[in-house]
């Protein structure tokens, strides 16, 4: 069963528990005739329902509980396994804050993610607002995005170290041409510092990073980049030029050994360098800038002021949920 088919089937919850159960019976009969889904023949209706909700994210699970009492009871019954799957198997958070309950660990981790995004949004607020105002009044404004919003990294450790090594690049604003930049500077009243990078630049260097085969080398930072949808065309030019030859090593010893072999210290981020880890933490607390995330992309359609408001509302909702969630699983009681 694909995620899309699961979501289509799950849309039937709006019609109520009775119609949903009837539809699930039909779906179960349909699936049992398919050789690729023959393992579903032995599943009960609850088993099919559990399979479907296992495709949902945390917010969707919360919304499902508001459909009716039956769904609320069902989700509560399997809550720990569902949220443990989100944390451990689907790895929905880069940073997991552990707790005695998987659900509470999910809440703490979500709170941490919301805090980081709120701090980032505050850090770029004035620049974003100036650009929003200019773009709203200028049809051919030519602005593309901030560099920090067009890429992300699969490994959160690498994301943190790259952000530290290329901190000044995160707040760069990508514009179509130098003429668009000049027009903004002439017309806008914003006096804060903004570093612009023209995207339409025939002088972008075209280069291939030298292959390296030494112990502890984890690739170039560029190798770990995932482009945000819609910006893929900028990977080989803008992104590659900004990240340059930044290398990723696991330990200081391996990076030093490579440095000796080439006669100079490499331009590298070293993940297990304790001194560097301290500096990374200090840099994060000072600038708060981070690379893109699924949360940021969800908020991207809103103005920066609306993003801040929504993040604060989400944080309050999470805090309220944490306050009412017990620290251990309560013994189940029979319904009256």
Shared-domain flag, residues 73 and 144: no
Shared-domain flag, residues 156 and 250: yes
The 10s digit of each residue's pLDDT in 239-275 is 999 998 999 999 999 999 999 999 999 999 999 988 8
Q: What is the rounded average pLDDT of the residues 289-314?
A: 96
Shared-domain flag, residues 52 and 162: no
Give backbone dihedrals phi and psi of 172, rounded to 5 degrees, phi first: -60, 140
Shared-domain flag, residues 143 and 287: yes
* Residue-level pLDDT at 175: 96
pLDDT at 336 over 50: no
Shared-domain flag, residues 56 and 193: no
* Residue-level pLDDT at 199: 93
Confidence at 71, pLDDT banded by 50, 70, 90: confident
Whole-prediction pTM value?
0.80
Shared-domain flag, residues 152 and 277: yes
The 10s digit of each residue's pLDDT in 201-244 is 877 777 788 899 999 999 999 999 999 999 999 999 999 999 98
Residue 329 within a domain: no
Residue 57 within a domain: yes
Shared-domain flag, residues 170 and 254: yes
Residue 185 within a domain: yes
> Which are the contacts of 140, defined by CB distance < 8 A and separation ≥ 6?
180
Shared-domain flag, residues 71 and 172: no
CB burial string 154-187: b at 16+ within 10 A, e below:
eebbbbbbbbbbbeebbbbbbbeeeebbebbeee
13 neighbors 52 (Cβ within 8 angstroms): no
Shared-domain flag, residues 149 and 266: yes
Shared-domain flag, residues 72 and 144: no
* Residue-level pLDDT at 335: 42
Residue 328 within a domain: no
The 10s digit of each residue's pLDDT in 143-177 is 999 999 999 998 999 999 999 999 999 999 999 99
* Residue-level pLDDT at 68: 84
Rounded CA-CA distance 70/81 in Å is: 18
Domain that holds residue 161: 138-292
- Structural domain count, the chain: 2
Residue 101 within a domain: no
Shared-domain flag, residues 252 and 166: yes
The 10s digit of each residue's pLDDT in 13-60 is 444 444 555 555 555 455 555 545 545 445 566 777 788 888 888 888
Shared-domain flag, residues 73 and 192: no
Among residues 77, 108, 126, the one where a domain terminates is 77
């Amino acid at each position: 069963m694909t995620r899309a088919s699961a979501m289509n089937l799950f849309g039937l919850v709006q019609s109520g528990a009775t119609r949903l159960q009837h539809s699930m019976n039909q779906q179960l009969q349909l699936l049992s005739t398919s050789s690729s889904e023959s393992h579903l023949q032995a599943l009960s209706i609850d088993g099919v329902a559990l399979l479907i909700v296992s495709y949902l994210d945390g917010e969707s699970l919360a919304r499902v509980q508001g459909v009716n009492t039956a769904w609320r009871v069902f989700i509560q019954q399997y809550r720990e396994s569902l949220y443990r799957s989100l944390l451990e198997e689907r790895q929905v958070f880069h940073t997991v804050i552990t707790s005695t309950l998987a659900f509470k660990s999910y809440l703490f981790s979500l709170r941490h993610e919301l805090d980081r995004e709120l701090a980032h949004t505050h850090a770029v607020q004035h620049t974003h607002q100036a650009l929003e105002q200019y773009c709203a009044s200028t049809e051919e404004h030519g602005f593309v995005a901030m560099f920090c919003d067009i890429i992300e990294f699969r490994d959160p450790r690498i994301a943190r170290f790259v952000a530290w090594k290329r901190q000044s690049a995160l707040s760069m604003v990508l514009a179509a041409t130098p003429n668009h930049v000049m027009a903004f500077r002439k017309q806008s009243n914003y006096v804060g510092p903004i570093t612009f990078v023209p995207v339409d630049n025939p002088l972008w260097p075209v280069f291939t990073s030298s292959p390296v085969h030494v112990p502890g080398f984890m690739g170039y930072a560029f190798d770990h980049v995932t482009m945000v949808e819609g910006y893929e065309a900028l990977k080989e030019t803008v992104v590659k030029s900004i990240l340059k030859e930044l290398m990723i090593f696991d330990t200081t010893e391996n990076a030093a050994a490579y440095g000796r072999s080439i006669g100079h210290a490499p331009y590298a981020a070293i993940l297990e360098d304790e001194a560097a880890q301290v500096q990374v933490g200090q840099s994060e607390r000072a600038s708060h800038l981070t690379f893109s995330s699924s949360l940021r992309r969800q908020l991207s359609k809103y103005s920066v002021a609306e993003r801040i408001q929504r993040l604060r509302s989400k944080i309050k909702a999470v805090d309220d949920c944490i306050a009412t969630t017990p620290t251990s699983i309560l013994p189940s009681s029979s319904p009256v």
